[in-house]
A and B are shown apart, each in its own frame.
Chain A
Amino acid sequence: MGLLCSKNRHYAEADIEENAQAAEIERRIEQETKAEKHIQKLLLLGAGESGKSTIFKQIKLLFQTGFDEAELKSYVSVIDANIYQTIKILYDGSKEFAHNDVNSSKYVLSSENKVIGEKLSEIGSRLDYPRLNRELAEEIGELWKDSAIQETYARGIELQVPDCTHYFMENLQRLSDANYVPTKEDVLYARVRTTGVVEIQFSPVGENKKSGEVYRLFDVGGQRNERRKWIHLFEGVTAVIFCAAINEYDQTLFEDEQKNRMMETKELFDWVLKQPCFEKTSFMLFLNKFDIFEKKVLKVPLNVCEWFKDYQPVSAGKQEIEHAFEFIKKKFEELYFQSTAPDRVDRVFKVYRTTALDQKVVKKTFKLVDETLRRRNLLEAGLL
């Protein structure tokens, strides 16, 4: 009898402990679910090279502790890769133009530079790149200055030359230093195709240093072959930040050279707007790369893009730039309302003009985004 009793007690004790553990786990799950609810999810979407990752980096710099030395150093290989890849594209491009173009002589390099070009082209086709050193930097610099390369660069759009080219080429000496540590600006310009998903959690600290909302920002790959990875993220998103590079109206895609980039963006935006999971999501449209747009729009008319074929210029200079920008903005607004079912028309939809590389602009823009989302919350809570 005594044995029985003590055995039962042993089991009973084990039970109690198990129950206590289970209860603790339940409690923890509940707590964390509650905390999760307060975190607002922001999703960065857009076509490839629209500036999503740059915005992501800016937010990291603005509202988190930025990049520490190790992280900065990790970008050295990326920057090296950018430089080698770019100069290879330009060199190969000059050869192509020299072969095919009517004014072939424009694209013919000097014989010394041809030698350099062949060498760099070979390096650029390897899987692993050597660290940029003084010697290589000088050679790249020489090649870059060659008029044939400059002529090729002028037609960079046809060759998928990335936007960071000029910046890196002008800074070769600094970048090739033995003790080079990338600056924040270097990191912002560094271009690497995002695969998979990256996220950061942050809180935009207000003027009074009161912590406000907590946001979690997700950056996803933009090229076509990455989009299927986004689907499972769409649940419960507070806002979509859709980046559209407005300077790309005359460029074609990296992954499909027949497709105009602006048309691709248009289709993607349309697709995103119609997703059922975005029924209640706020949409912030960042019309990005305004700095490049400003310079291009006066030289290349908007109507080269099919979507903008009904554009009529009205004036010149700054006024014309503003006019062209407003035209594009209206086109996107039109698209938004056409793609939005009547029951969704009350979603927040705002358009912002951005230059992702300019930290001040990103900061100001994000303050506005934050204000809009907070007002929306108050409105939904019935407090406004």
Chain B
Amino acid sequence: MPMFQPSKRDGVVVAGFDGSGDGQVLDLDTAVRDGVLGGGGGGIIGAGGGEKLDLKKMIEELDLPEIPSVFICPISLEPMQDPITLCTGQTYERSNILKWFNLGHYTCPTTMQELWDDSITPNRTLYHLIYTWFSQKYSLMKKKSEDVQGRVSELIQTLKKAKGQARIQALKELRQVVAVHAIAMKTVVDEGGVSLISSLLGPFTSHAVGSEAIAILVNLELDSESKTNLMLPTKISLMVDMLNEGSVETKINCTRLIEKLMEEKEFRSESISSHRLLLGLMRLVKDKRHSSGILSGLSLLRSICLHKQVTSLIVSIGAIPQLVELLPALEPDCLELALFILDTLSSLPGGKAALKDCGNTIPNMVKLLMRVSESCTQYALSILWGVCELAPQECSSVAVEAGLAAKLLLVIQSGCNPVLKQKSSELLKLCSLNYTDTIFISKCKLTRTIQ
């Protein structure tokens, strides 16, 4: 019988246990040293204390791209967990070769020879090798992830000197570490990472670097000094640029960071009094594909509305009709924000006019009364009041046709706070002025409008 020669790679490419993770063939020297071949020393299992690590679990968690080829089942190309050897000397994963036999084949898949002996021998040696190899890798990985602080320090040192692609890589890695490990965040702050990363932001910062930097900063605890530093016009300008051009995650990060900075009392309204910022925010808010974007966009817009100087700018860019159109599709938390914004803007004469001019304002507001929450009702009512006061004839008839009267009655009869009820009855009175009693009462019929 011709013996099948096992394939030999030329030379011995080091597999190594130093975490390099590549290599096709085991280097026997290091294997002996590291105890893979069963010698006493070399700390085979890092966990210690008799904890039996499950091979399957380790293989899955590690998900390594390069595994020594001798560990791979020729049928499934996956690492073997229960290797068995046929009479031809070839080794396969037990479940796979049994499936092969069940299909009616009695050959060795790789050599194509007919089997003269149907015994299958568990390859204990190979199993031992596989198990130990994976255990080593696993404990290394665990150690590495536990040494988060060390990794963070390393990355910060790298960032001090790295340029170009290396810088982007270091930032990416730092971002990933910070996202996974809470302790990393503290380490970054302690090691002066904040001012270092802030210093990377300037007029010549590329988008690639800027987006990573912001992604890290937004998750950290920033002290007053850092925030003041980040409020420099060139840095805010960079954030606004990324808010306009970046991916959704980047946009959200920039939005959240700006909002954080606005909490500082030294924050100057001029920084946010920018067409680019507001238009970028509106774009984010209108993007129906990303609801988290809508929420963070509206949240920042709300904070911006608190600065009186900027509100007229918001109105001038046509934000009001756009927000009104959005309302029906919004989630409750977004709704409250949007209504607050519209209510704040309605206090401006330009705002009120824009609300009146937008055809869907009244119907949308009426629909929202008593639908979502008390504060939503309060804002919607306030907006309706503003619009109807501005043009009583025109607007109240539209409102009444949309079922306003019935809704107002609901408010009055509900357990809402007294101020709200008072407002409702005043509005009801205002609207009724254009109708005779009988007609108006018919408009108050509840059936049509309330579910």
- Return B249 CB to nearest CB of chain A, in Å: 12
Q: Determine whether the beta carbon of A337 is less than 8 Å from that of B206.
A: no
CA distance A345 to B208 in the complex (A): 24
Contact partner of A337 (CB less than 8 A), chosen from B241, B279, B283, is: B279
Q: Determine whether the beta carbon of A207 is less than 8 Å from that of B164.
A: yes
Q: Determine whether the beta carbon of A368 is less than 8 Å from that of B245.
A: no
Contacts of A322 in B (CB 8 A): 232-234
Q: Mark B170-212, 1 if CB is under 8 A from A, else 0.
A: 0000000000000000000000000000000001101110000
- Return A371 CB to nearest CB of chain B, in Å: 5
CA distance A365 to B206 in the complex (A): 10
Judge whether B372 is part of the interface by a CB distance below 8 angstroms: no
Q: Determine whether the beta carbon of B318 is less than 8 Å from that of A342.
A: yes
Judge whether B317 is part of the interface by a CB distance below 8 angstroms: yes
* Residue among B233, B237, B275 with the highest chain A CB neighbour number at 10 A: B275
Contact partner of A372 (CB less than 8 A), chosen from B204, B245, B247, is: B245
Interface size of B by CB at 8 A reads: 23
Q: Mark A324-353, 1 if CB is under 8 A from B, else 0.
A: 001001100110110000100110111111
Q: Determine whether the beta carbon of B206 is less than 8 Å from that of A333.
A: no
Interface set, chain B 230-249, CB cutoff 8 A to A: 232-234, 237, 241, 245, 247
Interface set, chain B 364-396, CB cutoff 8 A to A: none
Q: Determine whether the beta carbon of B207 is less than 8 Å from that of A337.
A: no
Judge whether A364 is part of the interface by a CB distance below 8 angstroms: yes
Main secondary structure of the interface of B (DSSP, over half): helix
Q: Determine whether the beta carbon of A333 is less than 8 Å from that of B275.
A: yes
Judge whether B447 is part of the interface by a CB distance below 8 angstroms: no
Q: Mark A171-195, 1 if CB is under 8 A from B, else 0.
A: 0000000000000000000000000
Interface size of A by CB at 8 A reads: 28
Counting residue pairs across A and B whose Cβ atoms lie within 8 Å, the total is 44
Q: Who on chain A is nearest to B277 by CB?
A: A333
Contacts of B241 in A (CB 8 A): 350
Main secondary structure of the interface of A (DSSP, over half): helix
CA distance A334 to B203 in the complex (A): 20
- Return A374 CB to nearest CB of chain B, in Å: 10
Q: Mark A312-328, 1 if CB is under 8 A from B, else 0.
A: 00000000001100100
Q: Determine whether the beta carbon of B233 is less than 8 Å from that of A326.
A: yes
Q: Who on chain A is nearest to B268 by CB?
A: A314
Judge whether A154 is part of the interface by a CB distance below 8 angstroms: no
Q: Determine whether the beta carbon of A372 is less than 8 Å from that of B203.
A: no
CA distance A364 to B275 in the complex (A): 26
Closest 10 pairs between A and B when the two form their complex, measured CB to CB = A364-B204, A337-B275, A326-B233, A207-B164, A371-B206, A333-B275, A353-B203, A371-B207, A333-B276, A322-B233
Question: What are 18 contact pairs spanning A and B, CB under 8 A?
Answer: A207-B165, A208-B165, A322-B233, A326-B237, A333-B276, A334-B275, A336-B275, A337-B275, A337-B317, A349-B276, A351-B237, A352-B203, A365-B204, A367-B204, A371-B206, A371-B207, A372-B207, A375-B207
